[in-house]
Structure 1
Amino acid sequence: MKFGIGQAVPRTEDARLLTGGGRYTDDVSLPGQTHAAFVRSPYAFAAIGAIDSADALAVPGVLAVYTVADLDADGLGLLPCLSGLKQRDGSPYVGTPHPALCKGFARHVGDPVAMVVAETPEAARDGAERVMVDYSERDSVTGTTAALEPGRPLVWDTAPNNLCFDWDTGDEAAVEVAFAKADRIVDLEIVNNRVVATPMEGRACLAAVDADSGRLQIYVTSQGVHSLRKQFAKIFNLPESQFHVLTTDVGGGFGMKLFNYPEYVACLFAARRLNRPVKWTSERTEAFLTDDHGRDHVSQARLALDADGRFLGLRVDTVANLGAYLSNYGPFIPTDAGSAMLVGSYTTPALYVRVKGVFTNTQPVDAYRGAGRPEAAYLLERLIDHAGRVTGLGAAEIRRRNFIPSSAMPYATPLGQVYDTGDFVQNLEDGLVLADVAGLAARKADSKARGKRRGLGLSTYIEACSGGGPEQATVQVNADGRVVLLIGTQTNGQGHETAYKQILADRLGVAPEDVEVVQGDSDRVTWGSGTGGSRSVPVGGSALAEGAAKVVKAATPIAADLLETAAVDVEFDQGRFTVVGTDRSVSLKEVAAKAAATTNAVGDGGAVIAFSEMARWTPPASTFPNGCHVAELEVDPDTGVVEVLRYSVVDDFGTVINPMLVMGQIHGGVAQGLGQALQERVVFDPDSGQLLTGSLMDYQLPRAADMPPISVKLNCVPSTTNMLGMKGAGEAGAIGAPPAIINALVDALSEYGITHIDMPATPHAVWSAIQAAKAQAAA
């Protein structure tokens, strides 16, 4: 139906957002608000001595300077790590106390040491510059594998060799048997480079105390208010009911805005101390120093194959950098979140994965778009591509021989997942046609004639989505027929409002303009699991669909009364209740008006509520989006410059609510994947621990000119694990792009004997690899 599921409806939020009508956290102001600035450690590791705030307090407009002693005096707790991970031996991982302001030591550059609150942002910054801190610098460690080396500085005395955890999964004995009988073993060291999320809108918060109730209120840019409310309650040792957490429009999250941060806790503390609102907005360089980072793994991967190129076993040993403190989900990302997907789309019978998480004097590392699944897919697809070259089977054939066939669905993997649907062979074949592989030889010859080298690379992927627990939706129909949806997810720009309206149009027959979507208010929306892992529309949408079904059920007897018939003789479709076999019908709006006449329920704004139905839906299992990405690029061997010329995508997202939203997610994800593959990398000075890529002058993001034309085909097989048949689309591009692009680059450089190149493959890295290969060949 018009505006319903499957329609390419323009985003309803865009008119407001593109004409300046957005309301982001920094746009919110409260009467009498003050401003916060933070004194941050200039050292990667230092003991903190005396803190002298006298000069800061003398700055006109400065109201207070706070340190951890003030937080301790109020009995504030620590920022939590929410992972329940157990080590190989069953013991817990090494935890890290994480106060909102440094206690005793600063453990990374940018670690917040003190907080200055003033009447204006300028006065707060001036005051912060005048706080005198007695630092005693210590040696630091920033490298991922270096952290485990004997004799390296310890970030925490409680973590010998900087080891946070030693975790494993799979069947090590079965893998040893597989390797013993293998005809060929292929191995590769794979680095997954550290990146910064860099959303357009930086982090911000505005904390206050409600004058009437005394409750603590905070506006905060987030991916879900309810998890933050629970954490704040524990940190402040208060009931959750004493917190009102609000998130307005959000300009990008990518996982990074899911977590709690020290600044939020400190601003709440200061607002309570001063009894005035306290506002903090991150600047871009501050964001590079304080936002949680993503990725940062070093892995040794080994694949055992038989004489026909079929996989017998896979062993992966990974060192994962967690930073100086454990973020909310830090240990979970490289372990349970990502490692189970190292099966990929393949029938590998035996797998063993071991992950060591390490502390370093760097910012915490947590979920970044895909949260472990891109890391797994990159490792697996680079290794398999390498195996295709070593065996001579080629990239496509080695995958064909090892794909899980669609006839095997549902398929139980050796690492505990059950894939319900998918046609991996068809995705590959369609991807090769879409990419015009048949014409590649001619295009390669043309490139070479112009002094360039052309390569084509492919990757297939599968990921687990729709986790994070249940989701709640309340569908409220007012007397005038307008619908209010209250839902516990949080849009970060993905188009939730449009997608949810389309589901309501499909299930209740209401027009988009007659629907209000409410998210990000812990008072109006009483419970929710938030946004992350492509869960919002598959899980939240399923809760919404169930709530809409409850509305229809509650309204049917009233419709039957209006139609003067029995409820069993009434059916509902496209917004109308009809007596079966007749043309007698009434609209949902008419039924709502009738129901409202007998109720006293009043909603926000004084609207009379006719029906209000809440549904909390728990997914019985994950969903598994999957697909094939094919990248084609050209390299200038004289400069190392890489240009991605063509990009083809075949994706299986299950039921698609809105193809336009899906295309936006694919394009955005591919852009982030291209950025990681060719441009983005966080770099620390190994001696001082200083962040060398601390601004957009030093850290390169993809621009419009870097993006190729993207061709997309959807091979959608509905999921069986949710009522809408959805699988999720938000992370696919960022998963498929890095291995496809690096595989294409290796293909282009293969004539030089280059078999691998690490991300990011910058012009300097590519040029250097070519020169080294030439020198080796000459020798």
Structure 2
Amino acid sequence: MEQFKSDAFSIGKSVKRREDERFLKGKGRYVADFGEAGDLRAIFVRSPYAHARITSVDTSAAVAMPGVHAVYVGRDLQESGVGSIGCGWLLHSKDGSPMAEPPHFPLCIDTVRHVGDPVAVVIADSTALAKDAAEAVDIDYEELDAIVDTAAAPSDTAPQVWPEAARNTCADWEIGNSEATRATLDAAPHVVEIEIVNNRLVANPMEPRAARAFRDKSSGRYTLYTTSQNPHTIKNALCGGVLDIPEHDLRVISPDVGGGFGTKIFLYPEEVVVTWAARHHDRPIRWTSDRSEGFMTDAQGRDHVSKARLALDDDGLFKGLWVDTIANVGAYLSQGATAIPTFYYAPLLSGVYRIPEIYCNVRVVFTNTTPVDAYRGAGRPEASYLLERLVDKAAHHLGMDRAEIRRRNFIPPDAFPYETPVGLTYDVGDHHATLDIALEKIDYTGFEERRRISAENGKLRGLGLSTYVEVAGGVPSRISAQLGARGARFEAVEVRVSAKGQVTILCGTHSHGQSHETTFPQLVCDKLGIAYDKVAFVQGDTDRVHYGRGTAASRSLVIGGTAIVKALDKIIEKGKSILAYSLDVNRNDIEFHDGVFSVAGTNQVVPFDELCGKAYLAADFPTDEIEPGLTATAYYDPENWTYPGGCHICELEIDPDLGTVQILRVVAVDDVGRVINPMVVHGQLHGGLAQGIGQALLESTRYDNETGQLLSASFMDYAMPRAADMPIFEVSTHETLCTHNPLGSKGCAEVGSVGVPPAIINAVIDALRPVGVDSIDMPATPDRIWSAINAARATPRTS
């Protein structure tokens, strides 16, 4: 019998990804792979206008076409009792009033509010037939004025998206002490100001969104296959008032998912419509988004316009921070829309610094654009970008070294736990260490010589710093409920152990690139001391996994992993009880280490797999006191956020004649707590860095201000980062262990998108400042940089 685990598979080892065996060979199973030849196809008829009244809809010609089974419109769903898709957070304005929460029906009933808004759905034998029929649906619109400009939305003269949201304001929210912060700024000898735009992004996961639904006539049960990060959340939302399906009659399966980045967290109209339509047809109904539909309808990210002021004393110490932000949520409230620009953003404005007074006002506004929600980082990149841009400007204002002003204001290691003035309590951190390591790796002291050499070659060289902290995981459910969350934050796990010692983890999180199939078995291998190949992993099926909150906010390891550890602890404790009866010894004398139970003071040992046999034989213990079998369920509700942090440094060159940027080096030193699998963590860091570079230099969602038309609806107009745009990332980790979960881990998937954008833009400004440019917005495209250089050259410099 095997008794000991292999150290090659324990915590801290770079175990190769199990998932790659099928993914790299094209054997992954995605939603589209579950389709059959007889499936019906759904095609949505979408609005060509950003804002318009629907005056009439004639579906008769489409219904009469060959191969068309049905055409449904919003009234059909409404009359059958289909409800509105709800928002997951109730926000209150600073005057105490609840947010404006207009309905979001799966198909528009009388008004369309963004380009791509679904008006009708065609169900046909094939995609081609459904597309032909969709073109035959005759819809008359009365076009209305549209508002797409975030900064202009909350004005008296802007077109109104919703009558119940005056000045297009969903909520006027605040955090911090306004009076104390204002007094601090008034008294400070130095105040620096900044106005910035955090550009809107489209996630563009490799696999577009898709859904396939059918109803079993004999049982009455529905099954929905969907590309979701949170299959249980989709089920709960569908059965929670949107559809009248009892929970036990709906199974949601989220198989392999080709990337999510936040955009696949939410319940979308298409999932509602195909599930509802399945009750009317004897065949499964399938819908797959094309890429243009994704640009128009996938939840987008960021889109903040902010003004901020930072107060400092003569020594460069931060005294107060005032922030005003307008955050665009688009035409409808997606499930996390109100939480991202408030609770996931403003509490991070203290960053890694001691800032005694902070106040932030966020106006959450509607516009005639695609809904905005979580995108990798979700609020934390927006906070880090604002703060780190402001810190660099403060250093320039005072003539201080950029590293020194940060070091001077860091929260020192001996000050933890540290409570910020905006509601967070950081448990641990060492920001001095991550900064010092990064400075040494980049050769900070040698930079000016490298800048001189670049100048001799006609290039502008810049170096940018970013020191950051973010939140990962979640807060206790009772706290999130007080903040307005309409769902719990805990995670559920079941661990099943067979009679032969095989272990199956059934986990409510969902892996769509994060390698849970690899790292979660490592936890079991390390804890139980068993062979790695004896551990199986199950996810993404609401019939097999009884509950879960899916994967978002870097929660899977710190919450789901902790739930696994708790379940394994229960397995071990039950094993001790079984042996106490079996061996007739005191239970307190039984110990468990490295896959073996032993009795203190004796030579009695029982390997784990032998114990498993005893659990199912049930011959040596009284079943009235100990149940047969070896299965445990555990729930873990987090005690606090975890707080990953670190330092990112970017060094780059700019060709002033072309405006092009070449990133020379990116050094990232991240504190993500205990690292379970270094190779997986580095992969997650690389992914976040790539998406951060995309935002900083390339990506931007653009709408026409007059018509509201989406101008960046394809890869011809939306510049995704490519391999040639990436440097060789120099990543490393420096661990301070989280104090309130047993793993000591903090989460790692989003830190790249949080830390690197301000480092890049600070580097761009550092390169451009000698030619008179001291500010630039993301994305810093060649056109934008070239224009800024030439505008500066045309403007007389003042001494």
TM-score category, normalised to shorter length: over 0.9
Do residues 691 (structure 1) and 710 (structure 2) align? yes
Question: Matched residue of 2:158: which SS?
Answer: coil
Change (3 A) 1:609 1:59: farther
Matches within 5 A, 1:157-306: 157-233=163-239, 234-306=241-313
Amino acid at match of 1:268: T
Residue number among 697, 700, 703 corresponding to 2:719 in the alignment: 700
**8 Å contact kept, 1:593–1:610:** no
Q: Determine which of 426, 437, 452 is the counterpart of 1:445.
A: 452
Report the CA distance between 1:210 and its aligned residue: 2.3
Name the counterpart of 2:612.
592
Say if 1:385 and 1:394, in contact at 8 Å, map to a contact too.
Answer: no
The answer to whether the 8 A contact 1:563-1:585 is kept is: no
Deviations 1:321-347 (A, max 9, x none): 110001101011111111100010111
- Quick one: percent identity of the two aligned structures? 49
Which structure 2 residues correspond to residues 279-678 of structure 1 after superposition, within 5 A?
A: 279-467=286-474, 469-560=489-580, 565-598=585-618, 610-678=629-697
Partner residue in 2 for 1:156: 162
- Measure the CA separation in 1 of the matches of 2:341 and 2:30: 32
- 1:297-339 Cα shifts (integer Å, max 9, x gaps): 0000100111111111000000001100011010111111111
Shift of 1:275: 3.6
Question: Deviations for 1:543-572, whole angstroms, at most 9, x for unmatched residues?
Answer: 000100100111123345565644333221
CA distance in 1, matches of 2:542, 2:721: 36
TM-score normalised by L of structure 2: 0.95
Is 1:765 aligned to 2:784, yes or no? yes
Task: Single out whichever of 269-278 and 333-342 deviates more from structure 2.
Answer: 269-278
CA distance in 1, matches of 2:577, 2:311: 64
User: What SS is found at the alignment partner of 1:288?
Assistant: helix
Structure 2 contact 772–797 (Cα < 8 Å) conserved = no
Counterpart residue identity of residue 193, structure 1: N
Matches of 2:292 and 2:604, distance apart in 1? 65
Matched with 1:19 is: 25
How much does 1:31 deviate?
7.3
Of 52-61 and 522-531, more deviation after overlay is shown by 52-61
Q: CA deviation at 1:583?
A: 4.9
Q: Supply the distance in 2 between the matched residues of 1:492 and 1:85 (Cα, whole angstroms).
A: 30
Residues in 2 aligned to 1:568 and 1:171: alpha-carbon distance in whole angstroms = 53
Consecutive unaligned residues in structure 1, runs of 5 or more: 600-607
Structure 1 609/264 Cα, relative in aligned 2: closer, same or farther at 3 Å? farther
User: For residues 566-586 of structure 1, what are the alpha-carbon distances to aligned partners after superposition, in whole Å with 9 as ceiling and x for unaligned?
Assistant: 433322112222233555422
Q: Which amino acid aligns with 2:587?
A: A
Matched AA of 1:51: V
Counterpart AA for 2:172 = D
Supply the distance in 2 between the matched residues of 1:587 and 1:151 (Cα, whole angstroms).
75
Deviates more, 1:565-574 or 1:368-377: 565-574
Equivalent residue for 2:698, pick from 650, 672, 679: 679
What is the aligned partner in structure 1 of residue 96 from structure 2? 90
Q: How many residues align?
A: 771
Matched residue SS, 2:506: strand
Determine helix, strand or coil for the equivalent of 2:760: helix
Unaligned 5+ residue runs, structure 2? 1-6, 475-487, 620-626
Question: Could you say which residue in structure 2 is the equivalent of 1:119?
Answer: 125
Quote the offset at 1:30 in angstroms. Answer: 5.0
Shift of 1:54: 2.0
> C-alpha separation between the residues in 2 aligned to 1:586 and 1:700?
60
Structure 2 CA distance for aligned equivalents of residues 88 and 76 of structure 1:
33
Instruction: Output one character per residue of 1:619-645: Cα deviation in whole Å (capped at 9) or x when no partner.
Output: 111100000000000000000000111
Matched, 1:75 2:81: yes
Matched residue, 2:14: 8
Mapped to 1, the partners of 2:252 and 2:280 lie a distance apart of 18
Q: Is the 8 Å Cα contact of residues 223 and 492 (structure 1) preserved in structure 2? A: yes
Q: Report deviation, 1:405.
A: 0.5
Q: What's the TM-score once normalised by structure 1's chain length?
A: 0.97
Q: Contact 2:169 / 2:363 at 8 angstroms: preserved in 1?
A: yes
Aligned partner letter, 2:245: L
Moved more, 470-479 or 28-37: 28-37
TM-superposition CA deviations, 1:451-498 (whole Å, max 9, x none): 111100010110111116111111100112111111110111110111
Q: Which moved more, 1:747-756 or 1:205-214?
A: 205-214
Residue 616 of structure 1: how far off its partner (Å): 0.3
Give a deviation string over 1:182-216, Cα, whole Å, max 9, x none: 00110000100000001001100111112332022
Are the equivalent residues in 2 in contact too, given 1:622–1:721 (CA < 8 A)?
no
1:118 Cα deviation after fit: 0.7
Aligned match of 1:139: 145
Q: Secondary structure at the match of 1:146?
A: coil
Which residue does 1:741 correspond to in 2?
Answer: 760
Tell me, yes or no, if the aligned pair for 1:65 and 1:117 is still in contact at 8 Å. yes
Q: Would you say the 8 A contact 2:466–2:648 is kept in 1? A: yes
SS in 1 for 2:492: strand
Letter in 2 for 1:449: E
Aligned to 1:605: none
Q: Secondary structure at the match of 1:317?
A: strand
Structure 2 CA distance, aligned partners of 1:385 and 1:511? 51
2:231 partner letter: V
SS at match of 2:752: helix
